[in-house]
Structure 1
Amino acid sequence: MPDPADKTVLRLREFLPYRLSVLSNTVSRGIADLYDRAFGLSIWQWRVMAVLGENAAITATEIGQFTAMDKVAVSRAVASLLDSGHIAREASLEDGRRALLSLTAKGKDVYEQIVPIALGAERNLVSALSAEEHAQLDGLMEKLARAAAPDRDLW
């Protein structure tokens, strides 16, 4: 058993990457429960739809870049959303080898119903912070994002 006085012991409760991951997963799962019950969508499917709601006609690779999802998760979410009719795929006019994804009318309808749910959940979460704390959190998140990925913007 590690000696608690030993500073080289990893204490997960104090380890920022662990804490951020657990917080992110908990927040995502809480919101996902809301749209899963109503629309039968997974976290990964909703993330793909959310990106397509903001960025029409992009590739699965670009979705992976926007969301930091791995290729397998993006591929599975895209396949299921194609099967369910929420998204469509068509060849790029500039490069027929590239497949562009976009929301279908059905997908847009679901997207427009989920957005207020997601924004309401965000408001509920942020209501735990004062306006000053919220601004500080935004600034701190920007700093951490730049430190984690100095070569690109995360959002």
Structure 2
Amino acid sequence: MASEAQLDLARYVPALLNFLSNKLSSGASQCYRKHFEIGVVEWRMLSMLAVESGITANRICQVIGLDKSAVSRSLHALEVAGRVCTEVDPADGRRYTVSLTASGKELYNRVLKV
């Protein structure tokens, strides 16, 4: 009986990249929470909104690659904290757009320096 091939995780590049990404995100999230009271998901959204303001939650999901529930929870937390504001999309009254507030821009700039 032939032995089955085994995946060598120490040499499998996709796994190594995933492990590295997870470690970096975890470390960054700890730093962001300690110093800025936000997590890595909230930071990603602040960054996205700093580049492209007045966008929908769906657009954030498409670009960042997160599921709708994670984006929704994080946007809610950012809105409660006064970091983002939502308003009805003038082009489509069924959608809402999200933008940074002055407080959100200030936080973005502080985190960016770090």
TM-score (norm 1): 0.67
Structure in which a larger fraction of residues adopt helix: 1
After TM superposition, the structure 1 stretch with the greater mean CA deviation from structure 2, 25-34 or 100-109, is 25-34
User: 1:15 matched to which residue of 2?
Assistant: 12
Q: Return the structure number with greater relative CO, CA threshold 8 A, min gap 6.
A: 2
Distance 1:102 1:84 in 2: 13
Aligned residue among 31, 37, 42 for 1:40: 37
Distance 1:91 1:44 in 2: 23
Deviation, 1:115, is: 0.7
Aligned residue among 49, 53, 57 for 1:56: 53
Deviations 1:61-111 (A, max 9, x none): 111111111212111111111111111000111111111001111111100
Query: Residue 70 in 1 paired to residue 67 in 2?
Result: yes
After TM superposition, the structure 1 stretch with the greater mean CA deviation from structure 2, 26-35 or 62-71, is 26-35
Structure in which a larger fraction of residues adopt strand: 2
Q: Percent identity?
A: 35
User: 1:81 matched to which residue of 2?
Assistant: 78
Aligned residue among 98, 101, 104 for 1:101: 98
Distance 2:96 2:38 in 1: 23
Distance 2:82 2:98 in 1: 12
Runs ≥4 residues deviating over 3 A: none
TM-score (norm 2): 0.89
- Uncovered stretches (5+) of structure 1, i.e. residues with no partner: 118-155
Residue type at the aligned position of 1:90: E
Deviations 1:3-35 (A, max 9, x none): xx9562223222222211111111222222222
RMSD: 1.6
Aligned length: 113
Residue type at the aligned position of 1:49: L
